[in-house]
Each structure stands twice: as structure tokens, then as C-alpha cells.
Amino acid sequence: MGYEEAKADVKKTMREADNQAKETWRRADGEESVSDKIANTGDDIRTTLGNAGDDVRVEADKWHKDVDSDDV
């Protein structure tokens, strides 16, 4: 596992932990309102998009390195 993959894994873990903490905090009052559910959905979407962006970046870096090594 390279540096970029390790960094992406750490970022993914941090996003998911942050997301879970927010959801727990929103449920702390014992009620989950519609606005809480909408906020949780928004957090889930941002987390998924962030993770997907990191995955694309890691794969693009691999592809770029493969192309560069073919030129040598």
C-alpha cells in the first residue's frame, strides 16, 4: 500500500467517525427530527463523495505512474 492509498484510508476512517459522531449527537435528545434525518443524509452524501474522490485520485495516480513507466 502506497502513501496515497494509506492517506485515503485514513481520510475515509476520519470521515466515517465524524459522521457517526454527528449522528449520535443529533440523537442525544432522544428524538430524531426530520431536520436531523436530512442532515444525516447530507453527511452521508458528503462522506460518500469524498471517499469516491479519494478512490478516483488513487486510481488515477496508479494509471499515471503506469503510463510514465511505459515511456522509459
Q: What average pLDDT score do residues 52-64 get? A: 89
Q: What is the pTM of this model?
A: 0.76
Q: How confident is the model at residue 38 (pLDDT cuts 50, 70, 90)?
A: very high
Q: How confident is the model at residue 31 (pLDDT cuts 50, 70, 90)?
A: confident
Residues 2-31: b if buried by 16+ CB within 10 A, e if exposed: eeeeeebeeeeeebeeebeeebeebeeeee
* Residue with more model confidence, 2 or 20: 20
